[in-house]
Structure 1
Amino acid sequence: MTQGELFGGPFDAAVGRGRSEPAPGAVLLPGWLDAAAQLRLVAACRAWARPPAGMHTVRMPTGGLMSVRMVGLGWHWYPYGYSRTAEDGTPVKPFPPELDVLARRAVAEAYGADVGGVAGAAGYAPDIAIVNHYPHGARMGLHQDRDERTDAPVVSLSLGDSCVFRLGNTETRTRPWTDLELRSGDLLVFGGPARFAYHGVTRTLPGTADPALGLTGRLNITVRQSGL
């Protein structure tokens, strides 16, 4: 069996709102962030998005612009690497302690000490956060997170509008893949066999956010360990 064959097929409506493992090494914990935690994170994202070293639109080497806007914390991501200097030439904002705590807890709850061949919280040392804002109509094509120098798990937190998240295989951007609906407050952790899976957001679902968040579109916070 190839790595690609480990991953599931099309959208599976049977993936309910309880803990699930949509692929080996991938763990989905719906509603992991309560309403108060979501409000705190939205407020924090607004502060992180302000200049200097604020939220910006990324231009790819091909010349195209990404439809999402992003800000890096700890390290600044650019295609395809990291630097300590943000898009505007100023030092990148530091990696926030609150995200360090959240990410370590997320990995511990997803994997425990060691589940499915994925190292648990012991030794996990996140030092990067990338905050992506998806306005209505934004998407993200299938890609691998290969700019880090480690295979430590990626922690993904969703806020605001729901989205269709496509979790693919590790070999190609083509099938097999599994489409998941990620809602505000959901936690997705992927490591082990899923760490280098192709993944992306095929669409957002406007109007699905809780109005109390005061958020238009979707925010996604991914926390990573750089190995740099």
Structure 2
Amino acid sequence: MKFMEFKHKDIYVKTHTSIIVTREVNEKDRKQQNELVYANVIDIDSRVQAMFAQFHHSRKKSDVFFRISHAPRIGEKDYDKNSLYVYPSGKYKHMSLREDDTFVTGLVVSEKVLERQKDGYIIFAWDGNIHEKLFWTIDSYYETPLLEEWTPYLYEQLIKSKGLVPLNVHDFSNDNPELVVYELLVEEDVLDGCISFGLQTGALILTEDEQVQEVV
């Protein structure tokens, strides 16, 4: 478990967090930043709600960041004192669920996870089966025709071209060891090109039945 802290002028909020997902961004004349995609926060309700509020205030992007640090147990002295700084980007949604009389679990999720955006879509595969989730994503949100058995080929092509980029999963409680998260960064024209190239080279094959269905 880690602490997730927010400081801005006279505002200070701290909650526990068990898992966050970030994407690395390199900007001109600035150090690499870790943009926050997803966070699970756990604490008393007032602290969780206060943390939610920080994602809705309009401040300068450079002024806003969250510090992730070790949450020491009572009496613990020899622990990692390094910190990870993460930055919000874009719009977020949140929801909370009461665990018991004391604690509330809150989820903070980028809108890129919830629906397709102009600059991409973020795919969560909690069971590690990214091929299945990639197929479902393209079938649900894109116009590119895709057979399920073609997904491994498309996955490999997108990874090579960096059209599909792995994001960083920080599982502080080790409760989700299989989770992988990717960001799909291409539009239909690129996806269509990958499929067409695969068919032309023989890497992908249409069976006779599938060809008849396409004609019909």
* TM-score bracket relative to the smaller structure: under 0.3
The TM-score, its normalising length taken from structure 2, stands at 0.23
The structure number with the bigger radius of gyration is 2
The TM-score, its normalising length taken from structure 1, stands at 0.22
Q: Which has the higher contact order (CA 8 A, sep 6+)?
A: 1
The structure that is helix-richer by fraction is 2
